[in-house]
């Protein structure tokens, strides 16, 4: 045990951090404000427990909400105490429960090779069931049904209980029917959805004293991060696990409870002392992330909430810069301001694009920002857009992998049995499903025995060929390395040949994406203790957007405020701080909802380390409607003396000069339709210093951010011109001419 390191770590901690790290026995609530060093405290607490010889590493369970956080925890434990810390169970709720279920789920009537269905898979089941039942998806939206089912599972309401308590009108009766069928299809496919992973673990513990006693005895110390985000089911899981030893430490911040829409309840953290006897509460209020003015803004905003335990963040780092507020005419001027601020900061202050984040209340707000960034050559990445594993070609190959792993997975089989085309039509698929239901077997079992069923005579040969392919791949899964298996699936299925036959740029991109999947599997093989097909599929199924965030890439991050929790950036823009948008209209009408929105604002503010920009517009078109909104009430809750307006208070709204953004003085910036952004910028022909289109191919040009380069090509595009420039230092960039602000070398 590296005792010297541990003592050195404790010596660097403030009094409250040290108190929390040294507390070992009983129930402990660490109220950890944003940027207060909670991870350091958790690591130090684990190290202290092990240093005192209170248990073995395998007797410690540390639960986080993201795989990224779990990996960071393991890495920092290793850095502090080395091999003495190996064996600590650090994982997400879902990963922990999946591991328990793989070992014990047979008790509940499932086999250990169960599949995990993602949201898309679940929606496919709901939509199919609606079609069979004649339920109009326009009246009862599939996502609404799935959300209701998820909430039922969080609250442990079965289909039968829902029917008994709520099935007294057409709307809820239809949900009852769909919920019942949904559960039947999951069980038939030997599959679980995300909610089931925790639900079935709780059921397992409650139905088997032997299994519960094993795990509750095993984990002498349990630690839960982001406790304010737990739902009733997660609380029950924790409650069961701590029954033997009672050494439960939870870390959370009631002021950052923002996931009510996912089923999280702030009540878990607010009532911790009531639920766990003799609980100790320690507050971490010293902030090591943000400037004093940013914390002052956050403290004043959140103080308007009544449902909170109370704490005040402070820093020894000084006040820093004021909070910058800008009021603009519409969402396009807002996006232009953001882009221009980023470009100027990178060019004049030596900042990186990765130092900036743009946060917004709804995904729809990103539209104008994205378009402006593309035209301005601002590199960016969106968190919450289409994930890699949601791309069609990836889901198709994964479906083959799932079927090889679990032949009862009817949903994945239906997806790929005719992908690529095998002349197995919809009528055949319906027959397969009907026969499978009648015989209480999987669709794959029927396909293998197709020649035995007169209804399938015409398709029997094709079905036999498909089933033989899957059987041969099943034989390979235990002999081939994972990456080679994926290659084999991609080629032998005919999928690669199908894409190559298309001979399009999109098809080639899809082939490259499959190659990237193979590479990912190859890395998994080298890093995983269990490089199996099942383990790989499980890791992918439980992955989140934040897990894929590449901190090293130099791009501005765009994301919703909900996605930003747990992250930090030097410079943060909170866009769309307007009544009716943030807080939303429905939230204004409910005190409970309004307090959740205020917590969301608190989260947004505390993401910023050095600079915070808050923007709002006079008018905004969103969801096809133009609205005139007042500035958000949250702005009025920030002390005026720490706000620096970037607009004239004598004007109703800021109408920024188009030339400030490189468009020339004759450009009229006006409100336009979302689908015709090109109308904003009309061709400019009068100033070589502002319109890159006036330069000739081969000319040497200078860009304020990218430096000197050679103009390679020009292509007219939507009232503007797309320039391709080979910059000496950063390589080839594509920039819209009216945004380029080029000068001659």
The one catalytic residue in 193, 226, 255, 578 is: 226
Rounded to 10 deg, the angle between the 495-502 and 392-405 helix axes is 170
Instruction: Look up residue 667 and give its DSSP letter.
Output: -
Residue 701 contacts residue 725 (beta carbons within 8 Å):
yes
* 3-class DSSP string for 145-161: HHHHHHHHHHCCCCHHH
Query: 8 Cβ partners below 8 Å, 6+ apart?
Result: none
11 is catalytic: no
Is residue 17 among the annotated active site residues? no
How far, in Å, CA of 108 to CA of 99, rounded?
Answer: 15
Residue that the structure tokens 């094993």 belong to: 214
**Phi, psi of 643, deg, nearest 5:** -100, 135
Pairing of strands 115-117, 380-382: unpaired
| Nearest alpha carbon to residue 546 among 527, 573, 565 | 565
In angstroms, the CA 297 to CA 322 distance is 10
Per the annotation, the verdict on 409 as an active-site residue is no
Task: Please tell me the distance from the alpha carbon of residue 716 to that of residue 450, in angstroms, as a whole number.
Answer: 57
**Cβ-contact 323, 293 below 8 angstroms:** yes
641 φ, ψ (degrees, to nearest 5):
-70, -15
Could you say which of 220, 308, 565, 607 is catalytic? 607
Q: Is 607 assigned a catalytic role?
A: yes
Going by their DSSP bridges, the two strands 115-117 and 700-703 should be labelled as unpaired
Which one from 225, 254, 325, 597 is the annotated catalytic residue?
225
Q: Which residue has the tokens 């939507």?
A: 718
- Among positive and negative, which fits the CA dihedral 98, 103, 105, 107? negative
Angle CA 24–29–30, to nearest 5: 90
3-state secondary structure of 645: strand
- Is the Cβ–Cβ distance between 153 and 234 less than 8 Å? no
Is there a contact between 607 and 357 (Cβ–Cβ < 8 Å)?
yes
Residue by residue, DSSP assigns 278-333 as T-EEEEE-B-SSS-HHHHHHHHHHHTT-SSS-----B-SS---SPEEEEEESSHHH
Contacts of 593 (CB under 8 A, 6+ apart): 583, 586, 587
Burial class (CB in 10 A: 0-12, 13-18, 19+), 237: buried
| Residue of 9, 130, 163, 256 marked catalytic | 256
Per-residue exposure over 422-461, b if at least 16 CB sit within 10 Å of its own CB, e if not: bebeeebbebbbebbeeeeebbbbbbbbbeebeebeebbe
Q: Is the peptide bond before 420 cis (omega within 30 degrees of 0)?
A: yes
Spatial separation of the C-alpha atoms in residues 452 and 460, rounded to whole Å: 9
**Which residue in the list 2, 39, 431, 710 is annotated as catalytic?**
39
Q: Is 256 annotated in the active site?
A: yes
Q: Are 88 and 58 in contact (CB under 8 A)?
A: yes
Task: From 300, 382, 679, 405, select the one nearest 556 (Cα to Cα).
Answer: 382
User: Which among 470, 499, 472, 491 is positioned nearest to 402, based on CA atoms?
Assistant: 470
For residue 108, the tally of other CB atoms under 10 A from its CB is: 14
Cα–Cα distances in angstroms (integers) from residue 260 to residues 29, 231, 253, 264, in the given order = 21, 9, 14, 5
C-alpha 483/C-alpha 515 separation (Å) is: 10
Q: Is 38 a catalytic residue?
A: yes
User: 3-class SS at 633?
Assistant: helix
Residue 470 CA to residue 463 CA, distance in Å, equals 11
Residue 489: how many other CB atoms lie within 10 Å: 28
Give me the active site residues, please.
38-39, 225-226, 256, 607
């Amino acid at each position: 045990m590296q005792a010297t390191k541990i003592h050195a770590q404790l010596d660097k901690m403030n009094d409250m951090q040290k108190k929390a790290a040294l507390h070992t026995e009983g129930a402990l609530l660490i109220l950890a404000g944003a940027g207060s060093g909670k991870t350091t405290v958790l690591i130090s607490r684990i190290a202290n427990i092990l240093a005192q010889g209170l248990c073995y590493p395998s007797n410690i369970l540390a639960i986080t909400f993201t795989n990224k956080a779990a990996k960071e925890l393991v890495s920092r434990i290793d850095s502090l105490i080395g091999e003495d810390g190996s064996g600590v169970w650090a994982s997400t709720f879902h990963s922990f429960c999946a591991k328990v279920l793989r070992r014990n789920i047979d008790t509940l009537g499932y086999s250990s090779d169960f599949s995990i269905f993602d949201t898309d898979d679940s929606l496919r089941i709901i939509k199919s069931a609606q079609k069979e039942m004649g339920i109009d998806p326009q009246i009862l939206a599939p996502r609404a049904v799935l959300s209701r089912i998820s909430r039922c599972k969080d609250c442990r309401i079965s289909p039968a209980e829902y029917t008994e308590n709520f099935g007294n009108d057409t709307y809820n009766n239809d949900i009852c029917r769909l919920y019942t069928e949904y559960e039947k299809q999951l069980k038939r496919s030997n599959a679980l959805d995300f909610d089931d992973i925790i639900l079935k673990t709780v059921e397992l513990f409650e139905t088997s004293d032997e299994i519960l006693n094993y795990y509750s005895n095993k984990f002498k110390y349990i630690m839960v991060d982001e406790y304010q985000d737990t739902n009733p089911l997660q609380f029950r899981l924790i409650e069961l696990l701590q029954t033997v030893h009672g050494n439960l430490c939870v870390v959370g911040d009631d002021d950052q409870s923002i996931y009510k829409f996912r089923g999280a309840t702030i009540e878990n953290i607010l009532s911790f002392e009531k639920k766990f006897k003799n609980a100790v509460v320690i507050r971490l209020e010293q902030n090591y992330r943000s400037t004093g003015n940013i914390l002052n803004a956050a403290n004043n905003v959140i103080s308007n909430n009544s449902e909170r335990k109370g704490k005040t963040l402070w820093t020894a780092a000084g006040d820093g810069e004021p909070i910058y507020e800008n009021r603009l005419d519409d969402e396009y001027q807002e996006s232009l301001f953001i882009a221009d601020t980023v470009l100027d900061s990178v060019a004049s202050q030596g900042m990186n694009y990765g130092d900036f984040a743009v946060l917004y209340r709804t995904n729809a707000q990103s539209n104008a920002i994205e378009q402006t960034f593309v035209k301005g050559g601002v590199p960016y990445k969106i968190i919450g857009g289409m994930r890699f594993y949601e791309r069609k070609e990836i889901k198709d190959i994964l479906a083959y992998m799932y079927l090889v792993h679990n032949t009862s997975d009817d949903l994945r089989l239906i997806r790929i049995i005719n992908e690529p085309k095998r002349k197995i039509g919809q009528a055949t698929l319906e027959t397969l499903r009907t026969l499978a239901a009648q015989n209480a077997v999987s669709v794959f079992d029927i396909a293998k025995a197709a020649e035995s069923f007169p209804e399938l005579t015409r398709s029997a040969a094709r079905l036999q060929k498909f089933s033989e392919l899957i059987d041969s791949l099943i034989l390979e899964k235990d002999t081939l390395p994972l990456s080679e298996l994926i290659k084999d699936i991609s080629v032998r299925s005919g999928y690669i040949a199908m894409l190559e036959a298309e001979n399009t740029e999109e098809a080639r991109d899809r082939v490259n994406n499959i190659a990237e999947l193979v590479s990912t599997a190859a890395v998994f093989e080298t890093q995983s203790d269990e490089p199996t097909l099942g383990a790989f599929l499980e890791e992918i199924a439980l992955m989140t957007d934040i897990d894929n965030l590449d901190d090293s890439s130099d791009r501005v991050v765009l994301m919703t405020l909900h996605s930003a929790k747990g992250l930090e950036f030097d410079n943060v823009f909170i866009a769309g701080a307007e009544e009716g948008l943030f807080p939303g209209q429905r939230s204004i009408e409910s005190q409970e909802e309004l307090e959740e929105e205020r917590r969301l604002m608190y989260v947004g503010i505390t993401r910023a380390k050095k600079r915070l920009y808050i923007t709002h517009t006079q008018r905004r078109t969103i969801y096809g409607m133009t609205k005139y909104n007042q500035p958000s009430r949250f702005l009025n809750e920030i002390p005026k003396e720490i706000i620096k307006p970037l607009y004239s208070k004598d004007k109703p709204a800021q109408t920024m000069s188009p030339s400030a953004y490189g468009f020339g003085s004759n450009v009229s910036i006006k409100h336009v339709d979302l689908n015709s952004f090109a109308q904003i910028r009309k061709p400019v022909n009068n100033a070589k210093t502002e319109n890159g289109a006036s330069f000739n191919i081969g000319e040497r040009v200078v860009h304020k951010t990218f430096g000197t380069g050679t103009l390679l090509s020009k292509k007219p595009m939507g009232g503007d011109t797309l320039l391709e420039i080979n910059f000496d230092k950063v390589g080839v960039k594509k920039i819209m001419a009216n945004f380029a602000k080029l000068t001659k070398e």
